[in-house]
Amino acid sequence: MAELRNIDLNLLVVFQHLLEERNISAVARRLDLSQPAVSNALRRLRTVLGDELFVRTAHGMQPTPQAERLGGPVGEALALLSHTLDATHDFRAADSQRRFRIAMSDVGEIHFMPRLMEQCAHHAPGVRIDSLRLSGADLRREMDAGRVDLAIGAFEDLGSGFMQRMLFRQGYATLFRRGHPTAHEGMGLKAFRAERHLVVSHAAPYGQVNQSLEKAGVALDAHFSVPHFSAVPYIVSTTDLLATVPKKLADTVATHFQLGLLKPPLRVPALQTNLYWHRRFHRDGGNQWLRAMTINTFADAS
């Protein structure tokens, strides 16, 4: 590997973003650079390291084995340096240009992102927030390395080194289009079971609703399904399907899509949504600010 003194730190920043985005245009937008500037940085880094690093394919810029080996150590080093520099001065949200990354599900994006963006626009106009989908070992690794600042949801088994705070608990509601010929609040289990349903097949960590539907006699294989929650209101608003989703999502989309709500006639365990962060960044000023804004905006009063 080339001596460290021969490598411009800015080249490593471009490398790290290319590893995440796999697209030169996306990196240029993220770093507020021109595409030729990003391409030039990659060319210089290839020369210094003696490796292609990224190869253009039909699926984007794919990393070489050498780039994949460098990815973890470079990401950890940049994160450590970034947080060390941040710690040398107080975090001032109004003046900050920091970019935060928060792991959340698609239903989390619908609920959290609009209000987080609104808060940033009012109190921290230079701050940017990226959402991303991670779980399990991938989430632990990214938070360990400092590449993910917070996680919001019902994540399990993050292990030691992580801290958490409950934001709220919620139940479920069933969505139906206004004008549906038979769906209504107060409908019984027999009528509910007889309806056609839209099932979210990849509903983790909300899978208990599918288990409850099955226990109530709704055969999931006999109904329509989508992998994620984001398509649900579009489909329900134009069909006679029912969809049982987390209550806060139902409240958010009902007005926009002219949907009715009913309490499902089945027992579903309440869902708890938590805020998670790594212990290493507990006293980091930016992380503290982002946590406080999230808690003040979304946590149930108790």
Buried b (16+ CB within 10 A) or exposed e, 132-151: bebbeeebbebbbbbbbbbb
Q: What is the identity of the amino acid at 247?
A: K
Supply the pLDDT for residue 283: 87
What parts of the chain have a pLDDT lower than 50? 1-2, 302
Q: Going from the N-terminus, what domains does the chain have, and what CATH number goes with each? A: 4-88 (1.10.10.10), 99-167+279-298 (3.40.190.10), 172-269 (3.40.190.10)
Supply the pLDDT for residue 59: 81
d(CA 289, CA 293): 6
Supply the pLDDT for residue 276: 95
d(CA 113, CA 131): 8
Q: Which residues contact 85 (CB under 8 A, 6 or more apart)?
A: none
SS3 content of the chain, % helix, strand, coil (to 5): 45, 20, 35
pTM comes to 0.69
Q: Which residues contact 299 (CB under 8 A, 6 or more apart)?
A: 165, 166, 167, 168
Supply the pLDDT for residue 136: 82
Supply the pLDDT for residue 177: 96
Q: Which residues contact 268 (CB under 8 A, 6 or more apart)?
A: 171, 172, 208, 209, 212, 244
Task: Report the helix count and the strand count for the chain, using DSSP H and E.
Answer: 11, 12
Cβ atoms 150, 100 nearer than 8 A: yes
Supply the pLDDT for residue 3: 60
Supply the pLDDT for residue 225: 92
